[in-house]
Structure 1
Amino acid sequence: MTTDHHTRHGLVLGIAAYTLWGLLPLYLRLLNGVPALQVLAHRIVWSLLLLGVIVVAVRRVGAIRAAARGRTLALLAASATLIAINWIVYIWSVQNGHVLEASLGYFINPLVNVALGVAVLGERITRLQAVAVAVAGAGVMALGADGLLSGGGAVWIPLTLALSFGLYGLIRKIAAIDALGGLTVETGLLLVPALLLILTAQANGTGAFGQTRGLDALLVLAGAVTAAPLLMFAAAARRLRYATLGLLQYIGPTLQFVEAVLIFREPLRPIHVVTFALIWTGCAIYAVGARRAPA
């Protein structure tokens, strides 16, 4: 495969992954009648089933078992906790009319990654990237101040989403295991509590599964909805420059923002306009800085 073809393939996979993440609220809204914790539990169970099939098909069981030990297993336990927190907050946000705040969290995320890289990994950034973090931080502070003064803004949603996913990415960066293996182990570590939650709900008569065939199909689909974009992203990351991948990640929250305003009719308050203007400015500055930085 030529370098150009390799890059084009990575670009298609990256765009597909972030587009699927951007359209995720449309899927989650179809599950509005299902409690967020049950949605999360089904997402874990059906994702693990799909990942298990893939792992067996590509003959990776032994390699994953060998890698998931000691320090790596401890790191994956931490990353599993973080991704579970990220998922439940995101699901709850979509179901309760906070898609705008959720999209803000994923706009902030790459800038959080920059800050964590500097603070934890000792990475160096350009002046433009430092300015980007500061401008985006001003947006978050504006939303937070509005929340304290008026009870609006729900700043905890974007901060929780951005920090949990940023820390998740940091742990996965230092864990000595590949994307497929790491995701499989993380999901496996969450399986027991997920099954207990589902079985308890079913026994109490509050379980979502088994009510209608359509709902059952949507819950089973959670496996592919979760695993497919993650695997596409992992494949794209191997084929694209980091700066290119960084620019693609704005596809997801942009789509979520459009859906929140045009489809879900969430109110776009003046503080949202100010916050998003600062965040988008920060993202634009970051993108320019990333393009100028060495590959």
Structure 2
Amino acid sequence: MTDRLAGIEQHIESIAQLGTVVGAMRGVAASRVQQTRHVIDGVRSWSGIVAAALAEAVALLPRDAVRPTPAGREVLVLFTAEHGFVGALPERMLATAAPDRAAGAFVYCLGARGAALAEAEGWKPAWTGPMATQVGAATDIASRVAETIYDTFLRGAATRVEVLFPLAAPDGRVTAERRRLLPLDLARFRRSSEGERPLTYLPPARLVELLVGEYFLAELAHAALEAFAAENAERLRTMQSARSNIEHRLDDLHSDERRARQGSITEELLDVISGSTAIADYDRTHSSG
């Protein structure tokens, strides 16, 4: 019984240490989700400012300058997950992107966990890369992806770009969000050319081209930040579930510990009683002799 009690106490200590690790991971994930929310607001402002500039620049173009882009092969920028403890998030993102892959899209897969899973399932992404592991790295990741996509466009290999990324709702639920990035529908930016024309130092077509590139980068950075927040939101939910399981397990172990301790005490009392009985029998035997 004593050995069983020692084993239970050792198990309790191990589970408690695991609980400490889970608590730390939960705290980090919650902090990153909170930090990202503030940065996303800034990126939205960046995107809004560029959109406003595009509206003014597009108004300088002739009406017939905005033509539909011919249909062509698609680039799908797929954000998955960089690290583990995110449940089935990478699997869900790959499943959502499966029709694009089947249609022959160039899949740019971001996230080490998702890339490893894609390789295991026989995918052959056109490009793989890491996701942001810190809030400040999202813009660098977006710039790297943008440069790679521009090269694909310059070669004429693709004419459309869509981004697919995990998006965390306020209640922590994570869904897949899809947005078209290129070609931009410039008609939706066009506004009335009445009023004072903006002062520019570039031809309107070149100005629009540069602003489209900036808007594209801002939208990619936004997607990278949302994916980073969603990955940490999913990890937070996983750690909350793990903490709940640990608490239930500790409750069970403490119950076992109390029963084992009571059993040990009972065993010791029985040993004392048995010893007392043996001594009484011995004294009786020798006194009668």
Task: Name whichever structure is richer in strand by fraction.
Answer: 2
Task: Name whichever structure is richer in helix by fraction.
Answer: 1
Q: Tell me which of the two structures has the higher relative contact order, counting C-alpha pairs closer than 8 angstroms and 6 or more residues apart.
A: 1
TM-score between the two structures when normalised by the length of structure 2: 0.28
